[in-house]
Structure 1
Amino acid sequence: MKIYKKGAALLLVVIMLMTFVAPVAEAKELNIPPGQLKKVTGIPYGQLKKIGFVDLDETIEWARLAIDRMYARGIFTGYPGNVFKPKNNVTHLEAIIMALRVMGWEEEVKRTKVNDDIRKINLSWNDAYYYVALAVEKGLIKPEELRGFNPNAPAKRYEVARYIVRALDMEREAQKHMKEKLPFKDANAIPKDAVGYVYVMLDLGLMKGDNKNRFKPNDPITRAEMAVMLNRLDESLGNEDENNLVGTIKDIDLEDLTITIQNSSGTKTYDLLEKTPVYVDGRYRSLEDLKVGDKVELVLDEDEFVIFIQVIEKTKQPIISAKGLVAEVNRRAISLVTYITNPDEGFIGTLVESDIEGLHYELETSEGAFVLKGNIEGLEDYVGDKIVVKGQLTDEFSIYMRGYILNVEKYYVLRSRDLVTFDVNSDTKITLNGKEAKLAEIEAGDFARVRADDTNLALEIKAESFEEKIKEFEKDRKDTRDGKLEGKVVSVSLGTELIITIKNDDGQYTLIIDKDVELKGIKSLRELKRGMEIGLRIKGGKIIKIEVDD
């Protein structure tokens, strides 16, 4: 993978600081230290880069680690819309391209000469001819096999075995075992001239049979199966480069999203993404499950962001801890969204579109509907879906009169692959709002802290209810419905509704002005200007008196 070189473009720095829209690559060119990117650019994490496929559900759990790792390593690519299509068949052309990549030969593709025999093959894109040419050069395809080579046909399992064995330069070893008796019920279905290739793949532990002791040699190999096989191969090759490294965690900062690794090359800090895939014992986990002292494998992208983490050896700490927004609860398990770490900032519900009093979006939750404002670009694609919103409830007046306004900082479509799930049994200690509770009392939208053992069994769950969070907000909100308030004018709207927004050290407040409001220090509401210091008298949520300092 290409690593961007450091630049010193002063003009770019100025543009970044003025516009706050610099992309990650430009920030890295300017040598911005890990953990400081948000402070310099003003762009929240999670909006800079997207990671993860949306179509990997529980039926693909067996291949999930391999898919994430092979994608991070650049062996696989996805499809538009962040989909992987794990059950799609792999074609012959795709199989040889993946084999060349996993062997580390990608950089040689463009330097390979394409002969006339290869040009006769009907390929849909020009670069494909170079891949086929390199596959011939490396021995994956023999020149005499080009005549029958169908690049777009699904590759069968025994055919993939042949490509991989040849890529490993083990053709002679395969030929020695062509008469081997293989231990599968369907061994007779393996073509006689392919038995040796399958033998070598079994011997290397790269391919296996199914739970019924069948190899299914003539079945097309799927993208998920190919990912698992190539991941085994890649790990066995032990290719470590500047974008794939192994080391021990010396520090992990979940606030600034950085991880510091120590290995033979020294100690270095890298930026994380909020949803960097983490695997512990082969299971999808969260950043919070990483411990100082863990030996890990990191995969970096071209901007040196960590896009994959796998714990190779755990530090001697048997207790796992995690916290996050509760997404699902059933009789024996609880699932968390762990990229929401502040209980005051997380909301989960169904996205709906409403045209009551004007077209807008709402989040339907167990505690009612919330009007969404702020960073809502692209929400139209997810109406009807469950989403997770990171944001804050505001005291701002809603013209839609449909519940409180939720100011959106970020939003995520809720996918099963993003959940961290813990098993629960009768010995699990559970509290809700500080009181002993049952698992069934915890609901989606609550916030929970979980301590679990290394078998993934929750030892303790401490939950805070979403209902209590809303009650606390309403309690604080009453302070602005009756009483006095001082601050600086932010804006004034004198349309159908008379609305004013003021700001002070405690926050920003948007309130309705009573039509019979008493004015002191000014003769008309039109004299109110931005930045003006004012005092308000509020009753029933409406301003009944405005006093302007001389």
Structure 2
Amino acid sequence: MKNLKGLLCLLLAGFLIFGQSGQIMAREFKDIQEAEWAAGYITKMQSKKVLQGFEDGSFRPNQPVTRVEAIVTAVRLMGLDGDAKSKSSETQLHFKDADQLDKRYSWAKGYVIVALEQGLFDAAEDKILPDKPASRVWVSSLLVKSLGLEEEALSQMTKIPDFKDAKAIPAGAVGYVNVAVAQGIVSGYPDGTFKPNKNVTRAEMAALLDRTNEGLLQNQGAISVSGTVKEIQFSAGAADSSNNSVQGKIKIETVNKQLLSYGISSELPVKSYNKLILAKQIAVNDTVKLIVKDGNVVEAELVPAKETVSKEKEKEKDKEKDKKTEVKPRPEQNAGGIEEFEFEAELTGKQKVQLEYKQKKGAAQAEVEISAKKDKEKLKGQQAVQYVEKVLGEAGLTDSMSSREAAEKLMTALDINKDQIKELELKIKFSSGKQLKLEIDSDDKDDDDDEQDNDDK
């Protein structure tokens, strides 16, 4: 009898790991201080019923995640939980260790089936190895596949990752690591290593899932906007429903002084520090980051007030500096409201300029390459970010500009004369959802000028 009770406890604990029952808010986890840095990520993934705590009130943030647990969370994050639960337990799986799944993880079998259907497994994998701790390189591949970026990963298999221990990354996973880094899902360590074989902890998994979540929403047409709340109101007497039906409006002012209005549910969970509040608790003058789809807020997060205040003070100090001193855009400014930016120009005299810039989860990524005949200069990391943000700051781009006007502003900032242009390609995505595209080819006089707003996606 004691052995049976012990087994039941273990099985129940396994269910609770990923939210079968017993939801516990992150602020209530008795061991959350062991990984306080991840409290916000844990809370958000918990609210989405992707990750949960244990029956004893703990989260065990530093416990390694197993492969089967990682698969379950990825499938849930993709919104396929219902599909997984509807799968027949009689389905035969052609893994050499499929019997281990049936005996010990029967509750997860449906998730494995969905993962197979969605292409989340490597074609060469003939074992699930459900108990094996999931490594950083394995989880990176899993999450990149969940975003549908396998083709992009395959195209980057020969690009050596910029890590000191790049040789330790399996050859077949190099492209997936490159894409995971570019998407802001995972990054290296301060010592310049990636540590591909290091086990992923539950706290780290929460962070990786949260970063992947935004990419999944963007795949569905969502955009990210940030600003200060100017107005928020909900319909009088509107019944708060469990399905987060929209019955309110929120108006924010961006750093570019744009006023944007979206629909919002009063019951929408909002991440605030290491806890969740409801949208109806958002106040005027709060600084927020919103994920918007089809004109409605689907996710929201409060920017810490202390952080906002400190950055405002920094901004005031910068204004007092000499005019020659360059003021770098702050992370919450999204480089003047720009989320993604690509500029490529081929000039006379065999000169070429390439700039790439992207904001992911408040962190900027950039690459710069400038070549002239035999000389070539490349910038990566923070140097590239600073250079591109300097150019964007001088250009002063806004989403009210036409594609051609934006291109002219950029050429002025880069000190490029119109007569030098042989080919030019420009792509800009603003936080408002507006997109600008322009292609110029002086040889055949082709000029493709395209502007898109949020409804054209």
* Range into which the TM-score falls when normalised by the shorter chain: 0.3 to 0.5
| More strand as a share of residues | 1
| More helix as a share of residues | 2
Instruction: Give the TM-score taking structure 1 as reference length.
Output: 0.39
Which structure has the larger Rg?
1
Instruction: Give the TM-score taking structure 2 as reference length.
Output: 0.46
